[in-house]
Amino acid sequence: MPEPLDLEYDIVADDYQTAGEASNNLKETLKMLGISSPICRRAAIITYEAEMNLVIHGGGGRIIANIDEDKIEIKTVDQGPGIPDVSLAIQEGYTTASDQAREMGFGAGMGLPNIKRNADIFEITTEVGKGTTLRAVINFTS
C-alpha cells in the first residue's frame, strides 16, 4: 500500500460548473496510487456525493481525505445551515434540494444513503445554524 497522503479541497457553494472536480481528482489520485478498483469506486461515490452536498446544501466547505496504509478517511466540513434531523436526512429519497438543483438533475435524496452504504464507518456531526461535519472511512481489508 502507498505512503500516507493527505488531500484537501475547497468546495464553492452553488457552483455547478466546477462541482465534481474534487471527487474526480481524488479518484484519479487513488488510481495512480494503485489502490484497488472496488475501493477507488467506493471512495469516488462517497466523495462525489459529499462534494455535491457541500455545493447544494452546505454553503460550500472543505473536503479532507487521509489516505493511509490500511484505510481512507474522507471528511467534509461546512459552516452551512446544519441538518435538523439526521435520521430523516439519511433516508432514501429524502431531499430539501432547491428547484434549481432539481432542474439540473440533483436532489434524488440518495447521496447520504449511498455514502453510508459505501463506508465502513459513517458519522455525521451537525448543529442547526452552525454547520455539518461528515466522516466516512473505508478499510482496505473490507
Ligand X SMILES: Nc1ncnc2c1ncn2[C@@H]1O[C@H](COP(=O)(O)OP(=O)(O)O)[C@@H](O)[C@H]1O
Q: Catalog residues that contact Mg ion under the rule CB under 5 A.
A: 53, 111
Q: Give the interface segment with ligand X, choosing from 12-20, 29-37, 46-54, 62-70 (CB under 6 A).
A: 46-54
Which helix (H) or strand (E) segment holds residue 41: the answer is: helix 37-56
CA dist., res. 142 & res. 119, Å (int): 10
Q: Point out which span in 13-21, 23-31, 33-41, 74-82 binds ligand X (CB under 6 A).
A: 74-82
Q: Is 133 in the site for ligand X (CB under 6 A)?
A: no
Q: How many CB atoms lie within 10 A of CB 27?
A: 18
Q: Which residue is nearest to ligand X (CB)?
A: 111
Phi, psi of 69 (to 5 degrees): -65, -35
Nearest in space to 121 (alpha carbons), one of 132, 136, 134: 136
Is 45 a binding residue for ligand X by CB under 6 A? The answer is: no
Min dist. Cβ of residue 71 to Mg ion (A): 23
